[in-house]
Structure 1
Amino acid sequence: MMKFYRSTCSLALLLAVPSGGLTLGALALAALPACVTVNVNFPESAAQKATDDYVRDLYRAKERGKSAPAAGDTTFFQNFSLISNALAADEENFKLDSSKSSGIKEKLRSRIDEVITYKRMGVLGENGDGKLVLKDPSKLKTLQKQRVETLVKQENVDRDDLYQEVLKINKLPDTRMRNIEQSFARSFQAESPSGTWLQTSEGQWSQKP
């Protein structure tokens, strides 16, 4: 399981009180290792569940032919948590709910029909970084190709904005962007229709059966 570090120095130093002739400074120094060795797990399971729900809502609402919940509805934006195995054993929440993420979702939803159509044609693919890729433009006429290139560009701009927002609202360091991208990549690949090109974690491409 992936991990990121969070300071627990305040707890360690609060416990560093004079005792047995040792000075406060000595006890504080003795407590310092706890500040660097205690870690909190990156909530991988919670993150995956949250991104799965987010992407599932985009795809399955269209398949059912029904309207998805309004942007302000938090049905599909639950807070998911797991108990960390850190020394303090506290609960980490992974959130996707913000006004910005809801707005981005509406933009993604507005082009989902086109994205699904070109995926089924074997034109588009989902890479391992959570990005849409123009995989086989040979199936398109010139004007179609230009349209799809624009579609891919717009989609990826919105996805980049989404990943940045998710990082921000969960107060994660920039080093965790890769984890966010991979979680969304798995979600987009899982919900993509047959014919979509999918990239594995090893970089290999194949079409979804």
Structure 2
Amino acid sequence: MLNMLLFLLIAVGGGLSATWIMIERGSALTTEINGPWTHWTAAGRLDADPYTRAHFARHALLPVSTALIGSYQATLDSEGRPLHSSCEYVLEGPEPSRGWWSLAVFDAGGKLIRNDAGRHSFSSDTAMRAPSGRVAIHLARSARPGNWLPTGGAGRLVLVLQVEDPHDAAMGGAANSGDEPNVQLPSVRRIAC
């Protein structure tokens, strides 16, 4: 009887753990990982799998269809360390060849970070570019020259990069004729901590 109870506890615990991992992190079947960036491939689509739907429901998010906007999320830097407001980061990458994009920073609860500058995001319309066409966006508690997003005392950070029509608006590359977007994502480099 004791063995049966132990087996049942292990089975239920294992099943719940596997389900939690699939909903929180996804798998190769539901997400694409590119460096620190995660992209839920079926977000906002009618044919989305139950884990993708549960992920967005759990976080109270209303995803836009991946056929229209590619949404990429990062909670780690390019070296795999958790993003935290006590550190300073720079996001660097080529300017998108065409199409609209935006980058915003949130706290771990998914809320915008309050700051005196009232600055929460940059987009292809507002970001300053280097003469080479590269874009650099700094994340730091105190003001930085150029593209700066304040992180205040938010603690853990979440970056959200959205690219309009990722099938045509490839960042740094040509349009992709396949079903999956061809997007070159910026690096997230920690400068100081």
Q: What TM-score comes out, normalization by structure 2 length? A: 0.26
Which fold has the larger relative contact order, with Cα–Cα distance below 8 Å and residues 6 or more apart in sequence?
2
Q: What TM-score comes out, normalization by structure 1 length? A: 0.24
Structure with the higher fraction of residues in strand conformation: 2
Q: Which is higher, the Rg of structure 1 or of structure 2?
A: 1
